[in-house]
């Protein structure tokens, strides 16, 4: 899926006038799949998220001067980092590869968490360069570049993290080829509670263990649930959403990588969650609730449970982030 130059507006600002300018951008974490919509559904949350500071230098080419919060795990080499690689693809499309950029990446969320960590960084970088260049194109036009970053990070260019990180809210990937994304409404007063158990589950590996073939009867169950979830979003019916958020295809396999997944689900549902499932490829789990108190109680109890298993965790409670990336 290549963006051609006529797909996107030409940035207006001449490079010489930009030298010395800088911008700081935040992009949000995302919950991909939303349980039943493997690779086709995702939504953005208010926290956590990543920050990119981008400066226009006088010397053509991209450098990465600093990465924080990654425990030294991410490459500073611009040819190997998802942020610089996707920015480079964008620059090529708009004919601005002669610009000089320096990037600082501040990771504010765990890597390999199933919260769209690489997507948040990539989207922050793309939004930063688009804003610096004064490119008024629809942010959705940045999607193919962000997907290049995903492909590099985990071997597959899925869009269910990058699309909601870029557009905010709930997003459906209606089609990958041709790429078509649809922003969906969601009920007001929906809370999301996220628990990240501190175990490593790389997306690349979590994709390799999924079955390639499925039975027709399972497909019928799954697409009934996806349609039910999307209907619930449109009808503002949180209970219909909850009933529909069941995954019989991927969760049975991936749940094995998550400590005490089924016990955590039982606890969350007993405490009043309307749904519970794996966030993206895991190990983070998430639940929807109808109010903040229930969301907070669930994070506390699940965190206590993980502590009793000697597993550290991070927790977040958030409403849906409808804005996507923002300049700080
Ligand atoms: N849809 C992707 C997967 C999301 O489940 O592998 C990865 O975060």
pLDDT tens digit sequence for 109-122: 999 899 999 999 99
CA gap 202, 34 in Å, rounded:
18
CA gap 282, 264 in Å, rounded:
14
Question: What pTM does this model have?
Answer: 0.93
pLDDT, tens only, 174-198: 999 999 999 999 999 999 999 999 9
pLDDT, tens only, 127-171: 999 999 999 889 999 999 999 988 888 778 899 999 999 999 999
CA gap 260, 162 in Å, rounded:
29
Looking at the structure, give the CATH architecture of the domain made up of residues 191-319: 2-Layer Sandwich (3.30)
Instruction: Name the residue ranges covered by the structural domains of the chain.
Output: 2-184, 191-319
pLDDT of residue 5: 36
pLDDT of residue 12: 55
Greater confidence (81 vs 11) lies with 81
**At the topology level of CATH, where does 2-184 sit?**
Ribosomal Protein S5; domain 2 (3.30.230)
In 145-272, the DSSP E strands lie at 170-176, 179-184, 191-197
- Domains 2-184 and 191-319 fall in the same CATH topology: no
Task: Kindly list the protein residues whose Cβ atom lies closer than 6 A to any atom of ligand 1.
Answer: 32-33, 38-39, 114, 116, 158, 160-161, 203, 206-207, 280-281
Q: What's the rounded mean pLDDT across residues 230-253?
A: 97
pLDDT of residue 8: 52
Distance from the alpha carbon of residue 150 to the mean position of ligand 1, in angstroms: 10
Q: Is 270 a catalytic residue?
A: no
Instruction: Classify residue 199 as exposed, middle or buried by CB count within 10 Å of its CB (0-12, 13-18, 19+).
Output: middle
């Amino acid at each position: 899926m290549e963006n051609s130059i006529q797909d996107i507006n030409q940035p207006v600002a001449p490079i010489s006038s930009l030298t010395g300018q800088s911008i700081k951008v935040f992009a949000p974490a995302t919950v991909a799949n939303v349980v039943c919509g493997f690779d086709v559904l995702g939504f953005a949350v208010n926290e956590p998220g990543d920050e990119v500071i981008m400066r226009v230098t006088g010397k053509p080419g991209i450098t990465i001067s600093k990465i924080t919060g990654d425990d030294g795990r991410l490459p500073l080499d611009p040819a190997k980092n998802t942020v610089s690689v996707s920015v480079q693809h964008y620059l090529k499309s708009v004919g601005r590869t002669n610009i000089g950029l320096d990037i600082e990446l501040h990771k504010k969320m765990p890597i390999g968490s199933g919260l769209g960590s690489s997507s948040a960084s990539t989207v922050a970088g793309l939004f930063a360069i688009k804003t610096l260049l004064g490119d008024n194109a629809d942010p959705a036009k940045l999607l193919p570049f962000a997907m290049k970053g995903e492909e590099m990070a985990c071997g597959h260019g899925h869009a269910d993290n990058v699309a909601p990180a870029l557009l905010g809210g709930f997003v459906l990937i209606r089609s990958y080829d041709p790429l078509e994304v649809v922003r969906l409404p969601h009920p007001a007063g929906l809370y999301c509670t996220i628990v990240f158990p501190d175990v490593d589950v790389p997306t690349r590996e979590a994709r390799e263990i999924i079955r390639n073939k499925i039975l027709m009867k399972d497909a019928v169950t799954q697409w009934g649930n996806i349609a039910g979830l999307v209907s619930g979003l449109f009808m503002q019916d949180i209970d219909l959403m909850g009933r529909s958020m069941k995954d019989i295809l991927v969760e049975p396999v991936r749940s094995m990588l998550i400590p005490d997944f089924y016990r955590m689900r039982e606890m969350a549902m007993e405490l009043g969650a309307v749904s519970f499932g794996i966030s993206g490829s895991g190990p983070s789990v998430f639940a929807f609730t109808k109010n903040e108190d229930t969301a907070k109680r669930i994070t506390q109890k699940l965190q206590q449970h993980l502590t009793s298993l000697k597993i550290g965790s991070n927790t977040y409670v958030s409403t849906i982030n409808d804005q996507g990336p923002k300049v700080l």
